[in-house]
Structure 1
């Protein structure tokens, strides 16, 4: 990595209409997550939970890697910063859909940060490395749950028990990546997916995201899901969707 690259800065949040973008900005250290970065990320995610008009979040990084994970040298420090699992769980619980734009390889705890997103689009040639067992580290419970529920037990065991790296083809095969594109095409592909999601009915999307995540981890409450569905069926958005369908035009959803 070039010495001209900066030491880096905390993550940056940018709001652009219905889309929010969080960018990791420590390229010299492959976007290593510092305790101070976690202290910035958690309030960002809390802010986005109630952001009016927000319909999609994009999480990405700068430089050659998405992220090299949490700074091992800072592990166990009493910095007052939130734990990594607290931040990742908050990302997974974000009401709106999230897209991780993996601009390069991903390592350690950052693999779970990306997995907490609803969609992952990576660049061709990227890889994933989970070094927990090489470091003598036992991963935290919610991260293990996410890997098993989203990728399956076999893939999780390869990553955690054998510390087996995965290349782009393997990441596509196990479902960690939804797509892999040339690096030059990443921004455009992510923008297209974000725009596609932002145009959908937000009440329906939020409700179904919550339901699907609960179903995946075995915590689904059918009565709650049915109540959400009934509320959406009575919404102005559903009326707009039916009118637009009949009139053969694009709907204009308002989230109410």
Structure 2
């Protein structure tokens, strides 16, 4: 993905039409997450949520790794504010669909940052390592819940309790990665997926994303989902979608 002007900075937000891209920018330290990065990410997520014209968020990084996770040297210095767990929870609950473009290997807490995204596309040769037990660290509950609900109990136990790495083929097999591509093809594929998501009807896309995530967490409210579905059925976008279908043209959704 695109390189930064200067290394070692907090995450950068770039907006291109309906697509927002966040880039982690500490390549010299494998994009480890500092407390200042967590604060910047939280601010960016709130900014994305406040922009109704945005349709998709891409999360990526610079250099050879996606991220080494939270800076180990910062442990024992008090809980950062915001915490990594809080930042990731906000990411998962963003209304817009999210894509993690994994430009390299991913470690520790950054594995959950990627897992909170709706889609994960990585590069061939990358791997994942969850070293919590080798550090004497007990992981936070929402991250373990996400692992179990997304990947299954057996995979979660293998990763958390053994700290054994998973290579690209294994990450595809367990469903952590949706796709793996040569590095030179990553940005093109991610942009193609982003444009496809951005072309969908926002009310339907965002409503179904929320419903699916609620179902995965086990806290879905069927009545709430039905109410939202009924509202979407009355929307101008649904009328436009039907008209476009009959007229054999691309729909022009407004999010209303």
Query: Matches of residues 27-106 of structure 1 in structure 2 within 5 Å?
Result: 27-78=27-78, 81-106=81-106
* Map of 1:153 onto structure 2: 153
* Map of 1:168 onto structure 2: 168
Give structure 1 stretches of 5+ with no counterpart: none
Distance apart, 1:6 and its partner CA: 6.1
Query: Which TM-score applies when normalising by structure 2?
Result: 0.96
Distance apart, 1:7 and its partner CA: 5.2
Counterpart Cα distance in 2 of 1:247 and 1:172: 39
Task: Report the 3-state secondary structure (helix = DSSP H, G, I; strand = E; otherwise coil) of the residue aligned with 2:246.
Answer: helix
Counterpart Cα distance in 1 of 2:227 and 2:71: 43
Over residues 188-213 of structure 1, what are the superposed CA-to-partner deviations in whole Å (9 max), with x where a residue is unaligned?
A: 00000000000000000000000000
Instruction: Check conservation: 1:108, 1:131, Cα contact below 8 A.
Output: yes
Does 1:181 find its partner at 2:181?
yes
- RMSD over aligned CA atoms reads 1.2
* Map of 1:110 onto structure 2: 110
Over residues 102-153 of structure 1, what are the superposed CA-to-partner deviations in whole Å (9 max), with x where a residue is unaligned?
A: 0000000000000000000000000000000000000000000100000001
Counterpart Cα distance in 2 of 1:235 and 1:139: 42
Counterpart Cα distance in 1 of 2:220 and 2:78: 36
Task: Report the 3-state secondary structure (helix = DSSP H, G, I; strand = E; otherwise coil) of the residue aligned with 1:46.
Answer: helix
Counterpart Cα distance in 2 of 1:106 and 1:80: 21
Instruction: Check conservation: 1:101, 1:190, Cα contact below 8 A.
Output: yes
Counterpart Cα distance in 1 of 2:82 and 2:229: 34
Task: Report the 3-state secondary structure (helix = DSSP H, G, I; strand = E; otherwise coil) of the residue aligned with 2:162.
Answer: coil
Aligned length: 252
Over residues 20-73 of structure 1, what are the superposed CA-to-partner deviations in whole Å (9 max), with x where a residue is unaligned?
A: 000000000000000010011101101111212110000000000000000010
Aligned CA distance change for structure 1 residues 6 and 173 (closer, same or farther; 3 Å)? same
